[in-house]
Amino acid sequence: MKVTIITIGGKFESDWNTALVIPSFEKDFPVQSELLSEELDMLIQSIVDREVFLGKEGEVFFIPIQDAKYAGVILLGLGSKEKLSEEKLRRAGGNIINCVHTNRISRIVFDWSKLCTSYISPIVEGLILSSFSYENFKTELDASKTNKVNIGTVVFLTHPDENIGRVIEETNDTVAICESVNMCRNLVCTPANDLTPGALAEFARTMCDKVEIKSRILTRAEMEEEGLNAIIAVGRGSSREPCMIIVEYKHPDYTGDLIALIGKGVTFDTGGICLKPRDNLHEMKYDMAGAGAVLGVLYALGKLKPKMSVIGVIPAVENAPGNNALLPGDIIRTYSGKTVEVLDTDAEGRLILADAISYAYKKYSPHTIIDVATLTGGCITALGHFCAGIMGNDEQLVRSLIRIGEKTGERLWELPLWDDYEKLIKSEVADIANLGPAREAQTIVGGIFLKNFIEGNTKWAHIDIAGTAWGVDHISYWSKKYPTGFGVRLLTNWLVSNC
Q: Per CB under 6 A, does 179 bind ligand BES?
A: no
Considering only CA atoms, which of 355, 364, 363 is closest in space to residue 310?
364
Stretch of 7-15, 136-144, 251-259, 339-347 contacting Mn ion, by CB under 5 A: 339-347
What phi and psi values does residue 187 have, to the nearest 5 degrees? Answer: -65, -45
DSSP 8-state secondary structure symbol assigned to residue 337? S
Catalytic residues: 276, 350
With beta carbons less than 8 A apart as the criterion, state whether 458 and 361 touch: yes
DSSP 8-state secondary structure symbol assigned to residue 483? B
Binding Mn ion by CB under 5 A: which of 269, 355, 371, 464?
269
Rg (CA), the chain: 24
With beta carbons less than 8 A apart as the criterion, state whether 41 and 25 touch: no
Exposed, middle or buried by CB within 10 Å (0-12, 13-18, 19+), for 331? middle
Q: Per CB under 5 A, does 378 bind Zn ion?
A: no
Q: Considering CB distances under 5 to 8 angstroms, the limit depending on partner class, which of Mn ion, Zn ion, ligand BES, none binds residue 442?
A: ligand BES
Shortest Å distance, C-beta 492 to Zn ion: 24
Q: Per CB under 6 A, does 318 bind ligand BES?
A: no
| Contact mark string toward ligand BES, 332..351, x via CB under 6 A | ------------x-xxxx--
Q: Considering CB distances under 5 to 8 angstroms, the limit depending on partner class, which of Mn ion, Zn ion, ligand BES, none binds residue 378?
A: ligand BES
How many of the chain's residues bind ligand BES (CB under 6 A)?
15
Considering only CA atoms, which of 441, 439, 443, 437 is closest in space to residue 425?
437
Q: Per CB under 5 A, does 349 bind Zn ion?
A: yes
Stretch of 10-18, 107-115, 371-379, 449-457 contacting ligand BES, by CB under 6 A: 371-379
Distance CA 212, CA 208 (A): 6
Q: Per CB under 6 A, does 315 bind ligand BES?
A: no
Cross-strand bridge partners of residue 372: 263, 463
Q: Per CB under 6 A, does 287 bind ligand BES?
A: yes
Shortest Å distance, C-beta 374 to ligand BES: 4
Q: Per CB under 5 A, does 269 bind Zn ion?
A: yes
Continuous segment of H or E residues that includes residue 62: strand 60-64
With beta carbons less than 8 A apart as the criterion, state whether 350 and 274 touch: no
Q: Per CB under 5 A, does 464 bind Mn ion?
A: no
Q: How far is CA 13 from CA 106, 109, 145, 319, in A?
A: 12, 9, 28, 52
Binding Zn ion by CB under 5 A: which of 125, 173, 241, 287?
287
Stretch of 9-17, 79-87, 265-273, 459-467 contacting Mn ion, by CB under 5 A: 265-273
Binding ligand BES by CB under 6 A: which of 24, 131, 374, 493?
374
Q: Which position's Cβ is nearest ligand BES?
A: 377
Shortest Å distance, C-beta 375 to Mn ion: 9
Distance CA 378, CA 438 (A): 11
| Angle of the 488-498 helix axis to the 289-304 helix axis, nearest 10 | 40
| Angle of the 395-408 helix axis to the 488-498 helix axis, nearest 10 | 120
DSSP 8-state secondary structure symbol assigned to residue 267? E
Q: Considering CB distances under 5 to 8 angstroms, the limit depending on partner class, which of Mn ion, ligand BES, Zn ion, none binds residue 492?
A: none
Residues of span 377-416 touching ligand BES by CB under 6 A = 377-378
Distance CA 219, CA 455 (A): 25
Stretch of 42-50, 74-82, 244-252, 370-378 contacting ligand BES, by CB under 6 A: 370-378
* Contacts with ligand BES, residue ranges (CB under 6 A): 269, 287, 344, 346-349, 374-378, 435, 442, 466
* Contacts with Mn ion, residue ranges (CB under 5 A): 269, 346, 348
* Contacts with Zn ion, residue ranges (CB under 5 A): 266, 269, 287, 349
